[in-house]
Amino acid sequence: MFSARCILGAAAWRLHNRMCAAPHSVAAVCQVTCTPDKQANFSACRRLVEEAKQRGAGMVFLPEGFDYIGSSREETLALSESLTGETMSRYAQLARELLVWLSLGGFHERGPDWERDRRIYNTHIIMDDKGDIVSIYRKSHLFDVELPGKGVSLKESVFTIPGPSLVSPVQTPIGKVLLRARAIETQCFVLAAAQVGRHHEKRWSHGHALAVDPWGEVLGDCGGESPGLVLVQMNLDQVGSTRRNMPVQQHRRAPGFYLGLEDA
Set out the domains of the chain in order of their start, with CATH numbers.
4-263 (3.60.110.10)
Name the β-bridge partners of 122. 108
Q: Please enumerate in sequence order all residues whose Cβ is within 8 A of that of 51, keeping only pairs 6 or more positions apart, or say none.
A: 7, 229
pLDDT, one tens digit per residue, over 213-222 is: 776 778 788 8
Q: What is the pTM of this model?
A: 0.75
Lowest mean pLDDT among 142-156, 157-171, 246-260: 246-260
DSSP state of 170: E
Q: How far apart are CA 36 and CA 166, in angstroms?
A: 29
Q: Answer whether residue 224 shows pLDDT above 60.
A: yes
User: What are the respective helix, strand and coil percentages of the chain, to the nearest 5?
Assistant: 25, 30, 40
Q: How far apart are CA 141 and CA 179, in angstroms?
A: 13
Q: Answer whether residue 2 shows pLDDT above 60.
A: no
- Who has greater pLDDT, 140 or 85? 85
pLDDT attached to residue 21: 39
Between helix 38-54 and helix 86-98 the angle, nearest 10°, is: 20
Q: Return the SS3 of 102.
A: strand
Strands 144-147 and 152-155: antiparallel
pLDDT attached to residue 210: 76
- Who has greater pLDDT, 171 or 240? 171
Please provide residue 4's backbone torsions phi and psi, each rounded to the nearest 5 degrees: -150, 145
pLDDT attached to residue 126: 96
